[in-house]
Amino acid sequence: MQSRRGLLSGVKVLDLSRVLAGPYCAMMLADMGADVLKIELPGKGDDSRSNYPIVGGESAYYMNLNRNKRGMTLNLKSEKGKEIFRELVKKSDIIIENYRPGVMEKLGLGYEELKKINPSIIYGSISGFGHYGPYSKRAGYDIIGQAMSGLMSTTGWPGGEATRTGTAIADVMAGLSCCVGVLAAYINRLKTGEGEKVDVALVDSMVSSLEIINIIYLCTGKVPNRIGNRYEAIYPYDSFKAQDGSLVIGAGNDKLFSLLCDVMGTPELLEDDRFSCNNERVLNHAELKPIIEEWLKDKKIDETVEALLAVGIPAAPINTIDRVVADPHIAGAREMFVEIDHPKAGKLKMTGNQIKLTNHKIDTFTHAPILGEHTVEILQKELGFTKEEIDKLIEEKVL
């Protein structure tokens, strides 16, 4: 595997995490150049290795989240496996794990134990509810984070069922939050030499992301409910049906609404008390939306978006994914889809990295490791094991 380069070159990360939130965090670190070693259960590996879709016998779900990492197997329930892990900790900067709180402690590998052998270690932990509080021992999955945080109660259409977002946004937000936390802790370590435990919960991450939803209740006592694609604070800021699909319009202030009225040829709306200012438009959104959709009924989304953008009104088509991956800006200029050559799955497209760096471009993507791909390399080159010792560990099912 070629050496990684980037802003985090030289930073060594042990990734014990599985499925999505933890691997996403470690993937971000790896994309930016950290040497991320993914440690998996011998024989089985990360649960997501069996997740849909499967390409060439390998999970594309797994391959997307674990690119740019090295991989080894290690049985952390065995004493020899724990010894090897502790030796790796001595040589590492950051640990990422997303076990249920208490699991690592039962193994004797919790933060309090590991900092005894490496006081400057940064220990990033992601769980459903965090490492303290009455719910801390509960299992945490994305759908639970979305439900418990209140997000699902506000997602969907009026009168409809509470709705999970189309992607595992609680997992992604927790992964990003942990990435920010461990990097902040690493910066502090560079200044002070001090290690840190970063405790991130899926539910907390989603509660933080709800911003205006929380504030509406805290400031007014009103419980926000499902409002479709409309925004609580401004209008028109919504989705609208056109002839061949739907688009969004974000007329976020009075000036933009005036411009929209010009494009629509409806200057009289500016004199209508129901729509005279943003606050009134929010209160009377149900009357304004059908007026806009009547104007759009014989118009095509792409042409309309171009016309709105031409006068400075924020607008966009509601893209299906096939449109996204063909978009000249997103897929082209911004390189949000990259090709990776996998030894089993062959060449395939993966999602690129959203962070664009001027002086350290993230443009090198290596395949996710085959289960245990770098085990021998790690043990021999970094820990000094002989071939005979490794063969014995394999026989004892430590590896």
* Dihedral sign from CA coordinates of 132, 138, 143, 147: negative
Residue 270: how many CB atoms within 10 A of its CB? 13
Instruction: Please check whether residue 33 is in contact with residue 94, taking contact to mean a CB–CB distance below 8 angstroms.
Output: no
Task: Say which residues have a Cβ less than 8 Å from residue 139's Cβ, sequence separation at least 6.
Answer: 100, 128
Angle, helices 169-192 vs 142-149, to 10°: value is 90
Work out the burial of residue 241: count CB atoms within 10 Å of its CB; fewer than 13 is exposed, 13-18 middle, 19 or more buried.
middle
Other CB atoms within 10 Å distance of the CB of residue 45: 22
Residue 154 CB partners (closer than 8 Å, separation 6+): 210, 213, 224, 225, 226, 227
Q: Which of 15, 93, 171, 199 is catalytic?
A: 171
Whether 171 sits among the annotated catalytic residues: the reply is yes
**What is the number of other CB atoms lying within 10 angstroms of the CB of residue 240?**
21
Q: What is the DSSP string of 189-253?
A: HHHH---EEEEEEHHHHHHHHTTHHHHHHHHH-------TT--SSSSSEEEEEETTEEEEEE--S
Instruction: Give the closest residue to 7 by CA, choosing from 272, 377, 362.
Output: 362
**Which has the closest alpha carbon to 6: 30, 25, 26?**
30
Note the helical H segments in 96-168: 103-106, 111-117, 142-149
Give the integer Cα–Cα distance in Å for 169 and 158. Answer: 22
Q: How far apart are CA 129 and CA 305, in angstroms?
A: 42
Q: For residue 12, what are the CA distances in angstroms to 42, 67, 125? A: 22, 16, 16
Q: DSSP per residue over 312-379, as a string? A: T--EEE---HHHHTT-IIIIIIT--EEEEEETTTEEEEEE--S---SSS------PPPPTTTTHHHII
Q: Which residues are catalytic?
A: 171
